[in-house]
Amino acid sequence: MINRLAGQAKGFVRSRLTAAEIHRRQLPAYQTTTTQATTPAVYYLAPDNSRPSGGVRVIYRHVDLLNEMGVRAHVLHKDPTFRCTWFANQTPVVGAADTVLGPRDILVVPEWYGPGLAAAPAGPRIVVFNQRAYDTFDHIPYAETGPGAPYADLPAMTALLAVSDDNVDLLRYAFPGIPVHLTRNVVDPQVFTPGPWPRRQQIAYVGHRRADERDHLLHILRSRGVLDGWDLTLIAGRTEQQTAEIMRGCAIFLSFSDREGFGMPPAEAMAAGAYVVGYPGLAGREFFDPTHCSPVPDGDLLGYARAVEDACTTWLTEPAALAKRAGVASEAIRRRYTVAGLRDDLAAFYPPLLAAG
């Protein structure tokens, strides 16, 4: 027997979301069956987003590694012709409407779809891949939902995955009845290779976090003359390779992380050998070691300005000292966030779950 999820907003958590946003956060229509005709498979739902997005890149990497391990896995897009092209991949991709999910299959859903999970039909087991635990309750109104929303009332809810120690701890505390597992992030060692020093007098940063605070910081630094002679580079809309090239060449990278699931840009900048200054974003505390970078307490704008000025001064007066600290950071990141480590995490989670189904 095959049922089809119609994709309407029925069962959608009511909130202040606009109709367009509700549409974007709906699970796409897929088919379900009460019988399992084939070996169970893992399907990672991903938005049809053509813009560079670290979270989607992580989803593709999970699927690639699972297939390498002998686990059938696919990325599930709404549009059957869609594939991310801003990084090189040959990842198995399927369209939702063309896919039939059985009761032993696993549907992995990003936390971003949380407000629409109540509309998920009976069928596959559900794992929520929560790459931003601090966004879990966005658009989940307290007065209109019960304890454990948006996950507790889902009959097929099986487990949560998270990408940092900080987020694992938060989710285990918030949802004590749901298993939570770590699947560590990977900083690609073939892409984010450390560039040589001495480096250009360049400061780089990404632009999708804390824009007002960033502008305040830059105003302060310019007012003091700290930015004289420095090239400021905003990294936005770049491919993975282009981003890595900028990070390999800049002397200083500014982190504006804010309640992150992990905080990939500063980790990638460290791996590429840039000296990182700024906010760890809570989850980044696991790799923002003050012996090899300059972490700043969240919201401490004065402390941030002083840390940037210190780094710029060191680049001018003792470049070898800054280069040494940046090199230690690069080695630490490239040693900790590896493909082998993620493969171990996936192997510890999926084969037992599939066998138990």
Residues 155 and 284 in one domain: no
> pLDDT value at position 123?
85
- 319-338 confidence digits (pLDDT tens): 999 999 999 999 999 999 99
Number of neighbours of residue 220 by Cβ within 10 angstroms: 18
Residue 193 in domain: no
Residues 313 and 345 in one domain: no
Alpha-carbon distance 218 to 139, whole Å? 33
Q: What percent of the chain has pLDDT over 70?
A: 93
Q: Map residue 128 onto helix, strand or coil.
A: strand
Per-residue pLDDT for 226 more than 90?
A: yes
Alpha-carbon distance 284 to 277, whole Å? 12
Residues 38 and 176 in one domain: yes
Say how many domains are in the chain. 2
> pLDDT value at position 8?
40
Residues 292 and 321 in one domain: yes
Beta strand 250-256 with 200-206 is parallel
- 151-195 confidence digits (pLDDT tens): 988 889 999 999 999 999 999 999 999 999 999 999 999 999 999
Whether 324 contacts 291, CB under 8 Å:
no
CATH number at residue 109: 3.40.50
Per-residue pLDDT for 41 more than 70?
A: yes
CATH number at residue 304: 3.40.50.2000
Residues 94 and 239 in one domain: no
Q: Which helix (H) or strand (E) holds 45?
A: strand 42-45
Domain range for 120? 2-186+339-356
- 131-155 confidence digits (pLDDT tens): 999 999 988 889 988 999 999 888 8
pTM of this structure: 0.90
Burial classification of residue 202, based on how many CB atoms lie within 10 Å of its CB (0-12 exposed, 13-18 middle, 19 or more buried): middle
Among the residue ranges 4-18, 243-257, 306-320, the one predicted with the least confidence is: 4-18
Can you point out the beta strands (E) in 267-313? 275-279, 294-295
Q: In Å, what is the CA distance from 191 to each residue of 220, 225, 334?
A: 34, 34, 11
